[in-house]
Amino acid sequence: MLTLIVRRVLRLVVVLAGVSVVTFAILHVSGDPVSLMMPEAPEADRAVLRQAMGFNEPLPVQFVRFLGNTARGNFGNSFFHRAPALPLVLERMPTTLLLTVLAMGLSLCIAVPIGILTAVRRNSVLDHGATLVVFLGTSMPSFWTGIMLILLFAVQLRLLPVSGWEGWAALVLPTLTLVTVGTPLLLRIVRSSMLEVINLDYVRTARAKGVSEWIVICHHALVNAALPLVTVAGLQFGLLLGGAIITETVFAVPGVGRLIVGAIRQLDFPIVQAGVFLLALIVVLVNFAVDLLYIYLNPQIRVR
């Protein structure tokens, strides 16, 4: 078990190095970062900037400097806000995380019980209904779902605010939109992993010795079905963070996603790099935690 954890930590380091390469590449992939940052500037100004930012040096040198700066949390100054990029991103991170965690929690609250029920009552009306919802949910563009929710609850019924981030009512629609992104896949995983274990010998044995049906399902079956769920929930977190970018844009929520989208329109690449790096960092750390949880939960590994 210890070697496994050490191996996971090593992989974490390697993956973080890879994440830095990709983040670095955002600015350099076009070949000329300066014309990317100031497309309309005269050549003389560009030369000055190129010199000042060290873009004349060989790429490996620039990358090493980028790594050093990243390790110190320095992504450069935002062109637009004229302030260091990292604090600007960090300041908005709680909003994005709140939205993501709320949506994740709510998705789990919906997906787990309904997934279990649909597996237990296979081919029932509920099962077919849930399948339909899963298909619709995975086929809807989330930004459109958000706009339709605005149309219904804010424009027609006038129950909730159209956009913004003032008070709890403003949380409802963005969270709901993100839940439609998160729930379908989770529901599908819960159902299929429950179906896989529900007919195994040990579950039948439990039934045969007279254990009540609910204990069989919640204790015997669910514990084993939880393993794939943990892995998928980890991956799902990345999907929801990506979804938050869209949701924040639709509802004008002042989070990291909206900051990045705005920065992209203003060609403000320090913000883009800092935001992309931090969001990826969170995904990596969440998945690392999920890996450890998996090792802990899986007796096949834990005992060894």
Partner 1 sequence: MSIGTLAPPTVTLHEGAARDAESSRSWRKLVRNPAAIAGAVILLVVIGAAVFAPYVAPHDPTRQSLIRRFTPPVWAHGGNTAYLLGTDQVGRDILSRIIHGARVSLVVGIAAVLVSLTVGVTLGLLSGFLHGRVDTGIMTVVDVTLSFPQLLLALAFVAALGPSLGTIIVVLGLTGWERYTRVVRAEVLALREKDFVEAARAMGAGPTRLLLRHLLPNTFSSIIVMSTLQVAQAILAEAALSFLGVGTGSAYPTWGQMIALGRDFVSVAWWLPTFPGLAILLTVLAINLVGDRLRDALDPRVG
**From candidates 185, 217, 222, 260, binder to partner 1 by CB under 8 A:** 260
Buried b (16+ CB within 10 A) or exposed e, 238-266: bbbbbbbbbbbbbbebebbbbbbeebeee
**From candidates 5, 6, 9, 21, binder to partner 1 by CB under 8 A:** 21
Instruction: Establish if 143 lies at the interface with partner 1 (CB under 8 A).
Output: yes
Instruction: Establish if 63 lies at the interface with partner 1 (CB under 8 A).
Output: no
In the complex, minimum distance from the CB of residue 272 to partner 1, in angstroms, rounded to a whole number: 6
Q: How far apart are CA 217 and CA 198, in angstroms?
A: 8
Stretch touching partner 1 by CB under 8 A, among 71-79, 80-88, 213-221, 259-267: 259-267
Question: What x-and-dash track marks residues 213-252 binding partner 1 by CB under 8 A?
Answer: ----------------------x--xx-xxx-xx--xx--
In the complex, minimum distance from the CB of residue 85 to partner 1, in angstroms, rounded to a whole number: 14
Instruction: Establish if 175 lies at the interface with partner 1 (CB under 8 A).
Output: no
Dihedral sign computed on CA atoms, order 246, 248, 249, 254: negative
- Residue 188 tokens read as 């599908």
Beta bridge partners of residue 75, listed in sequence order: none
Instruction: Establish if 59 lies at the interface with partner 1 (CB under 8 A).
Output: no
**From candidates 150, 179, 217, 233, binder to partner 1 by CB under 8 A:** 150
Q: How far apart are CA 211 and CA 201, in angstroms?
A: 14
Q: How far apart are CA 143 and CA 251, in angstroms?
A: 9
Which one, 220 or 287, has the nearer CB to partner 1?
A: 287
Q: How far apart are CA 272 and CA 52, in angstroms?
A: 20
Beta bridge partners of residue 84, listed in sequence order: 77
Instruction: Establish if 41 lies at the interface with partner 1 (CB under 8 A).
Output: no
Distance separating the N- and C-terminal Cα atoms of the chain: 6
Q: How far apart are CA 76 and CA 112, in angstroms?
A: 44
Burial class (CB in 10 A: 0-12, 13-18, 19+), 186: buried
Which one, 192 or 211, has the nearer CB to partner 1?
A: 192
Backbone angles phi, psi at 44, to 5 degrees: -60, -45
Which one, 139 or 210, has the nearer CB to partner 1?
A: 139
Instruction: Establish if 36 lies at the interface with partner 1 (CB under 8 A).
Output: yes
Stretch touching partner 1 by CB under 8 A, among 104-112, 135-143, 206-214, 221-229: 135-143
Which residues are near partner 1 by CB under 8 A?
11, 14-15, 18-19, 21-22, 26-27, 29-30, 36, 135-136, 138-144, 147-148, 150-151, 155, 162, 235, 238-239, 241-243, 245-246, 249-250, 260-261, 264-265, 267, 269, 272, 276, 279-280, 283-284, 287
